[in-house]
Structure 1
Amino acid sequence: METRAVEVARRWLADQGVRQVPGGWVSAAEPEVLLTAEQVAHTWADEVFAEDLEAADQLRLAFGLLDLLDEYWVTCEIRFANEGAEGPLPADVLWDGYRRRLEADRDAEAVTYSLWVDWFEDHGTSAVAFAEVLGNDIDRVVAERSEALLRRARRVLECSGPVPWTVKEPTYRAAVQLPALHPAVFRGLRASFHDFYGDLEPTAALTLLDRLDLPTDTPHLAELRHVLAAGHNSSDGSSDDSATVSMSSAERGYR
């Protein structure tokens, strides 16, 4: 959590008449009604982009609100603003905001879920989004191997199932150089097969899978190797029952 960004967001909410109390939030309009963080996000997050601020500052405020509330809906409003009449938002601030939160030593479910279902499942944005959050600097991750960079790489790999195979394969191949990323590459490959929008090339995926140093009893490892060896991809659905179920929101790790 970026403390300064959180405090700026907290002061902004206070200006809207919204304050945090034990067990939730209350608004000046209805102080007797206890609100959840989700309700606060749905009611006020869009107002950030109506503020008389430069777009970059609006975006920084929105990320602070995300840190404060930890609600996926804030990322939706960021995406809406990026695609709206006043968009696009400054790309450097947008993707730096995602990268920082992917590297942070705190829960990142809202951020990874946003990447998965909003940016990666949309083939109009998946290539740019994947490049910005990992693909462009995977070589730096491999070279530096810092905990923050490895944390970001793990999180992106694990939710990268919908990214087109030609976009993500070079990053997967680079990530295989680091044993610390092998479990994340495996989960990325599995998601590439299972997710409804997943994408992979079976032969190339099997080659990568065979390079991973994983315990032989890793759950789903044998099943994935079987379907890839048989030449199945994520779109044909031709496999045993354990490999044909598309990933749900729960499997993606988001509530």
Structure 2
Amino acid sequence: METQAMAAARRWLADQGVGQVGDGWVSADAPDVLLTAGQVAHSWAGEVFAEELDTAEQVRLAFGLLDLLDEYWVTCELRFADESAKGPLPADALWGGYRERLEAERHVEAVTYSLWVDWFEDRDTAATAFAEVLGNDIGRIVAEPSEAPLRRARRVLACSGPVAWPVKEPTYRCAVRLPALHPALFAGLLASCHDIYGDLEPSAALALLDQLDLPADTRHLAELRHMLAAGHKHR
């Protein structure tokens, strides 16, 4: 189902002479050349931020392109715009766009990958990004769980490995109170230990791990417990 944001992005692309044809895209400049969604993203996503729109509208249009094309490169252009001389982007539009997509039922790999490798691996942005997409809301989500916010919490916890331990530990300690979040919290702890940029404190992580209600045969559970008990921070 096409959302209003996707429809707006489609109209904007049409204004640039770009339209969808079957499984691909074509440009008015080369109508016989079939383009992939990735090629469209690389060629036109950055142009959104040259439009004569207020910055929040540019951000919303970029997110519409992300929904339409499902390409990670669109999130790169958002990050570039945030770091540009005209940045930072309005927080409500930027992080509201991330939260909305993290709560959506549809596949959001480009969004979670963007969080992981761009915002969370960068120590200059990780704390703000993590707070905006989950940390500020975790208490409410745990106290009053509902489907969409829980979906967001699961997705963020699972990709939170690179976030500095002091930043994410309070959120982890809150999340452990809700069993529905235990599998995602385990994924976050595992990534914190295994990811090259992962960060954790072994004793505190082990204390959290011991509170998780998980099947005894959960893959990597015994291995992670052993590593944390031995004081390992990274594999």
TM-score for the superposition, normalised by structure 1: 0.91
CA–CA distance in 2 between the matches of 1:24 and 1:105?
24
Which residue pairs with 1:33 in the alignment?
Answer: 33
What percentage of residue pairs aligned between the two structures are identical? 77
Contact in 2 for aligned 1:24/1:35 (Cα 8 Å): yes
CA–CA distance in 1 between the matches of 2:197 and 2:152?
22
Residue 140 (structure 2) pairs with residue 125 (structure 1): no
Which secondary structure state, in structure 2, belongs to the residue aligned with residue 188 of structure 1? helix
What are the equivalent positions in structure 2 for 1:209-228 lying under 5 Å apart?
209-228=209-228
CA–CA distance in 1 between the matches of 2:184 and 2:167?
17
Which residue pairs with 2:170 in the alignment?
Answer: 170
CA–CA distance in 1 between the matches of 2:100 and 2:143?
19
Which residue pairs with 2:112 in the alignment?
Answer: 112
CA–CA distance in 2 between the matches of 1:144 and 1:96?
20
CA–CA distance in 2 between the matches of 1:204 and 1:48?
44
Tell me by how many angstroms 1:73 deviates. Answer: 0.2
Contact in 2 for aligned 1:2/1:64 (Cα 8 Å): no
Tell me by how many angstroms 1:23 deviates. Answer: 1.7
Tell me by how many angstroms 1:205 deviates. Answer: 0.2
Question: Any gaps of 5 or more consecutive residues in structure 2?
Answer: none
- Count, aligned residues: 235
Which secondary structure state, in structure 2, belongs to the residue aligned with residue 132 of structure 1? helix
Tell me by how many angstroms 1:2 deviates. Answer: 6.8
Which secondary structure state, in structure 2, belongs to the residue aligned with residue 181 of structure 1? helix
Which residue pairs with 1:157 in the alignment?
Answer: 157
CA–CA distance in 2 between the matches of 1:197 and 1:218?
24
Which residue pairs with 2:49 in the alignment?
Answer: 49
Tell me by how many angstroms 1:17 deviates. Answer: 0.3
CA–CA distance in 2 between the matches of 1:177 and 1:108?
26
Question: Any gaps of 5 or more consecutive residues in structure 1?
Answer: 235-243, 245-255
CA–CA distance in 1 between the matches of 2:23 and 2:174?
45
**Could you list the per-position Cα deviations for residues 157-200 of structure 1 after superposition, in whole angstroms to 9, with x for gaps in the alignment?**
00000000000001001101111100000000000000000000
Tell me by how many angstroms 1:143 deviates. Answer: 1.5
Which secondary structure state, in structure 1, belongs to the residue aligned with residue 26 of structure 2? strand
Residue 78 (structure 2) pairs with residue 62 (structure 1): no
Tell me the amino acid that sits aligned with residue 103 of structure 1.
Answer: E
Tell me by how many angstroms 1:72 deviates. Answer: 0.3
Tell me the amino acid that sits aligned with residue 102 of structure 2.
Answer: L
**Could you list the per-position Cα deviations for residues 201-248 of structure 1 after superposition, in whole angstroms to 9, with x for gaps in the alignment?**
0000000000000001000000000000001112xxxxxxxxx3xxxx
Contact in 2 for aligned 1:142/1:177 (Cα 8 Å): yes
Which residue pairs with 1:5 in the alignment?
Answer: 5
CA–CA distance in 2 between the matches of 1:66 and 1:45?
9
TM-score for the superposition, normalised by structure 2: 0.99
Which residue pairs with 1:141 in the alignment?
Answer: 141
Tell me by how many angstroms 1:63 deviates. Answer: 0.5
